[in-house]
């Protein structure tokens, strides 16, 4: 086989690999930006909840009202954990099959949750029950509680209408980013394209020895091995980047982002509880 066919085949293989890796990297970069959007909105909402937990024209907040704010901030922190776990398909307990009778599914859920508690279990209000077995994601469920808190804060006079509206915009942005990340996680590259690309790679690597053996002799074995290793390595990189929310070393450092947010929120909440130097003195009970 003439070696002149190799450049033409290389162009075809190169274009396919470029498309594969550029698409995977776009998913990785978009996932990183979206997860940052979620964490940024949670930071903003946490700041607003704590800094605006009183009315300068009304009586100081009662103990129950401060407890309401405390609970809302903990729910906001639970949101980032729920987002991470949902993107990794890690649930708090065993998901009962949908085909089980409702009473049996409820029994399985209670038994599993009593043994397998999610890492954010202590952040949730007592008695909070997930509805994943019914198809409702915990992120959306918790966002409803945050929106209800925004309404209560507005009704108490803690938030002006523009402030409440801005917080709702941030909450909507958080849910929109979560939905797009869910799409990235649940929508892999088309299987037909992946199969065809691997077939093309295999055929190309099989053709190379016949094209190079006349000119290179035994050196063609080393060259084909090197080229095959390089091409399949590039394809493997694209596969790693395709779903960026997992545990691979090349994935987004989701756990580190969540841990940073947990530390920041814990410091703010502790300071707010004891009326520390971060918040004004009139926030004291």
* 8 Å CB contact between 233 and 14: no
| 154 has pLDDT over 80 | yes
Mean pLDDT of 168-177: 97
Residues in contact with 269: Cβ distance below 8 Å, sequence separation at least 6, in sequence order: 50, 70, 73, 74
Averaged pLDDT score across all residues of the chain: 84
Considering only 54-58, 103-107, 231-235, which range has the smallest mean pLDDT?
Answer: 103-107
Q: Which residue do the tokens 């909450």 mark?
A: 171
* 8 Å CB contact between 265 and 76: yes
* 8 Å CB contact between 10 and 228: no
**CA–CA separation, 229 vs 238, rounded Å?**
14
End-to-end distance of the chain based on CA atoms, in angstroms? 86
Residues of 10-31 as b/e, b for ≥16 C-beta within 10 angstroms?
A: eeebeebbeebbeebeebbebb
Residues of 215-231 as b/e, b for ≥16 C-beta within 10 angstroms?
A: eeeeebeeebeebbeeb
What pLDDT score does 118 carry? 64
The pair of structure tokens assigned to 60 is 């100081």
* 8 Å CB contact between 113 and 92: yes
Higher pLDDT: 9 or 159? It is 159
The pair of structure tokens assigned to 130 is 């997930």
Scanning 52-101, the segments in alpha helix (DSSP H) are 63-87
Give pLDDT tens digits for 57-97.
888 899 999 999 999 999 999 999 999 999 988 865 443 34
Q: For the chain, what are the domain ranges?
A: 5-283
* 8 Å CB contact between 50 and 267: no
**CA–CA separation, 75 vs 84, rounded Å?**
14
What pLDDT score does 19 carry? 87
**CA–CA separation, 55 vs 47, rounded Å?**
16
* 8 Å CB contact between 123 and 74: yes
- Best CA proximity match to 61, nearest among 48, 75, 50: 50
Residue 201 to residues 4, 197, 235: CA-CA distances in angstroms? Answer: 18, 6, 9
What pLDDT score does 193 carry? 84
What pLDDT score does 184 carry? 93
Judging by beta carbons within 10 Å of its beta carbon (0-12, 13-18, 19+), is residue 106 exposed, middle or buried? middle
> 240 phi and psi, to 5 degrees?
-65, -40
**CA–CA separation, 167 vs 198, rounded Å?**
48
């Amino acid at each position: 086989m003439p070696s002149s066919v190799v450049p033409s085949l290389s162009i075809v293989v190169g274009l396919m690999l470029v498309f594969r890796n550029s698409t995977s990297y776009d998913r990785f970069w978009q996932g990183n930006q979206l997860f940052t959007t979620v964490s940024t909105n949670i930071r903003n909402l946490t700041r607003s909840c704590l800094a605006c937990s009183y009315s300068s024209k009304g009586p100081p907040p009662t103990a129950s009202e401060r407890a309401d704010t405390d609970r809302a901030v903990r729910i906001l922190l639970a949101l980032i954990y729920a987002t991470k776990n949902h993107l990794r398909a890690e649930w708090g307990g065993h998901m009962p099959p949908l085909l089980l009778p409702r009473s049996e599914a409820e029994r399985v859920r209670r038994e599993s949750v009593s043994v397998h508690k999610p890492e954010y279990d202590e952040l949730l209000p007592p008695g909070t029950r997930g509805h994943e077995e019914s198809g409702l994601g915990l992120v959306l469920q918790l966002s409803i509680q945050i929106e209800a808190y925004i309404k209560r804060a507005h009704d108490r006079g803690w938030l002006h209408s523009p402030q409440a509206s801005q917080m709702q915009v941030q909450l909507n942005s958080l849910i929109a980013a979560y939905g797009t990340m869910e799409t990235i996680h649940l929508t892999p590259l088309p299987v037909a394209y992946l199969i065809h690309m691997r077939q093309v790679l295999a055929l190309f690597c099989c053709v190379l020895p016949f094209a190079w053996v006349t000119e290179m002799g035994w050196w063609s074995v080393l060259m084909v091995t090197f080229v095959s290793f390089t091409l399949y390595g590039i394809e493997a990189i694209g596969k790693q980047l395709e779903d960026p929310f997992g545990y691979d070393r090349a994935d987004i450092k989701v756990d580190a982002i969540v841990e940073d947010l947990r530390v920041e929120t814990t410091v703010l909440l502790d300071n707010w509880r004891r009326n520390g130097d971060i918040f004004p003195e009139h926030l004291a009970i």
